[in-house]
């Protein structure tokens, strides 16, 4: 059942057009005296204490079913090329059936020196978390939250009561950093604060705007999602919520339809430490092959550099000082929630390095 579901998820993702989150309410101020150039831009960043060569990585995707070993191998080849982390899909299938471990282990085999993120549900035990990390010699563990998806699946879980307790036990008992991620429905400030108190090193907001697992699960089950299809917090709002709710050294990752150079730059300018890419690399690699996917991702990287140069931002840290204005429904949401949108507009270009 679990393996068949993984294959069906990939099929549904490939059948649907790529979804892009709407960042049109976020307006970056033009800098007519940028004082830098694309050749001087540095794209390195840090997430959960780990150094990233680029401000994006391949987010949790697949494994644990027929054909997924080859998919993970191809994704790992691209992540190795860019020297960026790669997260595997949920390893629960391999914990239940060790014969499926190869579909995950291929990532470490392909990237012996790369950063690899293990992945399990927030409902896992500490022992399961340790086994998942050991399976990949992983550098971090993602714990995913997917209550709406589970509620739609006929065979899904209906008990989410122990998640925060489990997360706390895993963060306290695991030697590698823990990243908690949503699966397309976003996070609010209150929950991000709770996760920070639980000891996680990063949260991935994974807002509404990318792959919609409510629609996928409804399609698998043969019914329409109806009103639930619009459930969740849109990605830009989830990112802003998370930034308001964070505390200490918790890093915020933007994902959920953040697929273009401009949306990545806007996410980083708002305050994200990095961007997680899911459907985009999967579609590129399976439809066009690794070489073509690498080329298209390189074009996105060049786009990021161009926008940063135009803004006068030499580093990702500089981007967080760039003035921007938050308009429309996004601005209304922030005001209704009592969050100060004006602080972004009152940044000063003169603070850039």
Whether the per-residue pLDDT at 221 is higher than 70: the answer is no
129-153 pLDDT, tens digit each: 999 999 999 999 999 998 777 776 6
How many other CB atoms are there within 10 angstroms of residue 299's CB atom?
A: 10
Give yes or no for a contact between 185 and 160, defined as CB atoms under 8 angstroms apart. Answer: no
Domains of the chain with bracketed CATH: 2-23+45-301 (3.20.20.70)
Q: Tell me how far apart the alpha carbons of residues 280 and 18 are, in angstroms, rounded to a whole number.
A: 7
**How far apart are the two ends of the chain, measured CA to CA in Å?**
54
**pLDDT tens figures, 249-274:** 899 999 999 999 999 999 999 999 99
3-class SS at 44?
Answer: coil
Identify any residues that bridge with 181 across adjacent strands, giving them in sequence order. Answer: 144, 204
Which 3 state secondary structure label does DSSP give 166? helix
- What's the confidence (pLDDT) of residue 341? 93
Q: What is the pLDDT of residue 66?
A: 80
Quote the CA–CA distance of 352 and 222 in Å, as a whole number.
53
Task: Report the predicted TM-score, pTM, of the whole model to 2 decimal places.
Answer: 0.94
339 band by pLDDT with thresholds 50, 70 and 90: very high
What distance in Å separates the CA atoms of residue 258 and residue 209, rounded to the nearest whole number?
8
How far is C-alpha 333 from the chain's CA centre?
22
pLDDT-derived band at 192, boundaries 50, 70, 90: very high
Predicted confidence (pLDDT) per residue in 18-58, tens digit = 999 999 999 999 999 998 877 789 999 999 999 999 999 99
Cβ neighbours of residue 117 under 8 Å, at least 6 residues apart?
Answer: 57, 60, 85, 86, 87, 88, 138, 139, 140, 141, 142, 179
> Residue 77's CB: how many other CB atoms inside 10 A?
17
Q: Whole-number mean pLDDT of the chain? A: 92
DSSP tally for the chain: helices H, then strands E: 16, 12
Choice among 40-44, 125-129, 160-164, 291-295 with the minimum mean pLDDT: 160-164
């Amino acid at each position: 059942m679990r393996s068949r579901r993984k294959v069906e998820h990939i099929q549904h993702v490939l059948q649907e057009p790529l979804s892009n989150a709407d960042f049109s309410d976020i307006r970056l101020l033009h800098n007519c005296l940028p004082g830098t150039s694309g050749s001087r831009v540095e794209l390195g960043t840090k997430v959960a204490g780990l150094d990233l060569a680029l401000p994006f990585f391949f987010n949790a995707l697949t494994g644990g079913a027929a054909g997924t070993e080859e998919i993970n191998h191809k994704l790992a080849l691209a992540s190795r090329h860019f020297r960026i982390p790669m997260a595997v899909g949920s390893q629960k299938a391999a914990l239940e059936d060790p014969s499926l471990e190869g579909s995950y282990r291929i990532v470490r085999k392909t990237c012996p020196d790369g950063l690899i993120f293990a992945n399990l549900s927030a409902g896992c035990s500490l022992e399961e978390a340790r086994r998942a990390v050991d399976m990949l010699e992983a550098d971090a563990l993602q714990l995913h939250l997917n209550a709406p998806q589970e509620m739609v699946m006929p065979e899904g879980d209906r008990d989410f009561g122990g998640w925060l307790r489990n997360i706390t036990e895993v963060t306290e008992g695991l030697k590698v950093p823990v990243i908690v991620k949503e699966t397309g429905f976003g996070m609010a400030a209150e929950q991000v604060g709770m996760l920070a108190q639980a000891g996680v090193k990063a949260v991935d907001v994974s807002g509404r705007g990318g792959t919609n697992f409510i629609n996928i699960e409804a399609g698998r089950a043969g019914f329409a999602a109806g009103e639930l299809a619009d459930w969740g917090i849109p990605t830009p709002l989830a990112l802003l919520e998370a930034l308001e709710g964070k505390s200490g050294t918790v890093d915020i990752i933007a994902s959920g339809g953040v697929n273009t150079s401009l949306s990545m730059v806007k996410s980083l300018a708002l305050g994200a430490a990095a961007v997680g890419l899911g459907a985009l690399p999967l579609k590129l690699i399976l439809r066009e092959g690794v070489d073509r996917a690498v080329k298209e991702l390189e074009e996105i990287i060049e786009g990021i550099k161009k926008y940063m140069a135009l803004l006068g931002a030499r580093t990702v840290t500089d981007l967080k000082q760039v003035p921007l204005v938050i308009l429309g429904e996004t601005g209304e949401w922030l005001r209704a929630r009592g969050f100060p949108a004006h602080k972004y507009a009152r940044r000063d270009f003169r603070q850039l390095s």
